[in-house]
Amino acid sequence: MSKRGALRRRLALLVVLAPLCGAGSLAVAVAPATALSPDERPILVLVASPSTLMVVHHAHPLPPSEAEQLALKLGLFIAGPIIRRHAREGVDPLPTAWQTSEPDRGFIEALSAALDRTQANWPWRTLRIVDSEADARTVLAESRGDDVAVVRFKCDLDDDLRSVQFVARASVELVRDADTPRESRTQFQIRHLAEPLAADWGRPRKYASEFRPDGPLDHEVDGAALDLSRALAVTIARLTTATPSLTIASRHFADLTRKPKCAVCEPGDPVLHEEPGRVWVAPGRLAGTVLSLPVEAGAPPA
Q: CB 148: neighbour CB atoms within 10 A?
A: 24
End-to-end CA distance of the chain: 46
Domain positions in the chain = 3-24+39-53+94-245, 60-90
Nearest Cα to Cα of residue 260 among 190, 188, 196, 199: 196
Q: CA 287, CA 195: separation in Å to the nearest integer?
A: 24
CB within 8 Å of 55: residues ≥ 6 apart = 91, 92, 93, 94, 156, 157, 159, 164, 201
CA dihedral 40, 41, 42, 46 (to 10 degrees): -150
CA torsion sign, 282 to 284 to 288 to 294? negative
HSE-CB of 157 using CA atoms within 13 angstroms: 30
Gap between the Cα atoms of 62 and 60, Å rounded: 7
Q: What DSSP character marks residue 10?
A: H
Give the length of the chain. Answer: 302
Report helix, strand or coil for 164.
Answer: strand
- Taking only the tens of pLDDT, the chain with its 302 residues reads 555 555 454 444 344 333 344 434 444 444 444 454 678 899 999 999 878 999 999 877 767 777 677 677 777 777 666 767 766 778 999 999 999 999 999 999 999 888 876 555 789 989 999 999 999 999 999 999 999 999 999 999 999 988 999 999 999 999 999 989 999 999 999 999 999 999 999 899 999 999 999 999 999 999 999 999 999 999 999 888 878 888 777 899 999 999 999 999 999 999 999 999 999 999 999 999 999 999 986 555 65
Sign of CA dihedral 226, 102, 192, 297: positive
